[in-house]
Structure 1
Amino acid sequence: MTTKTASINMRVLPSVRDIIDAAASLKKVDRTVFIQQAALNEAHSILAEQRDFVLEAKAFEAFDTELRAEHQTLEGMKDLFNRRAPWE
């Protein structure tokens, strides 16, 4: 089964292209592969920052304690969730 590809076009200064080409050459890949790998690595990193986080042991204990604590009902939130939305 063939997977379709999508095109991404960009314009860069010749000096930027030259630097990218030099780095791609060192990695022994073409410009497209180099840019794709770099962009994908950065995208994964940014998405992980939004999803994953690391805490030291003491901070994790405090976080875990709060997660396990008895929940509190906030009357203001209860009221908010019981209201009809203005667009309904």
Structure 2
Amino acid sequence: MAAKPARDPQTRAVNLRMREDLRGLIDRAAKAHGKSRSDFMIEAARRAAEDALLDQTLIRIDPDSHQHYLDILDRAPDSDGFRRLMQARPPWRT
């Protein structure tokens, strides 16, 4: 009798129910990236979780720093690079 492969004690199973067409889509995408369905789904879920948490990040600054930031945003651009950019011919007008 063959021994069962050792499981990582840090991992836990997650069971999902999904439509067959979604499973096929995920399988095709995973194959295109050379990954298993599980690895593909874990990576996609991790990225989505990080994005969701980053969207909720609160940055606290003191009033003086906040005003300095607003002043910079309100300042008109003034640099050689910006002037060259504004004088460049748009690519759609070639």
Query: TM class, shorter-chain normalised?
Result: 0.5 to 0.7
Question: What is the distance in 2 between the residues matched to 1:9 and 1:63?
Answer: 50
Q: 2:22 aligns with which of 16, 28, 44?
A: 16
Q: TM-score when scaled to structure 2? A: 0.53
- Mapped to 2, the partners of 1:63 and 1:27 lie a distance apart of 45
Tell me the matched-pair count. Answer: 58
Which of the two has greater helix per residue? 1
Aligned Cα RMSD in Å?
A: 2.5
5+ unaligned residues in a row in structure 1: which ranges? 54-59, 66-88
Query: When the two structures are superposed, what TM-score results if normalisation uses the length of structure 1?
Result: 0.57
* Runs of 5+ unmatched residues, structure 2: 1-7, 60-64, 71-94
Identity %: 26
Cα distance 1:34–1:61, how it changes in 2: closer, same or farther (>3 A)?
Answer: same
Deviation digits for residues 33-60 of structure 1 (CA, Å, limit 9, x no counterpart)? 000000000000110111167xxxxxx7
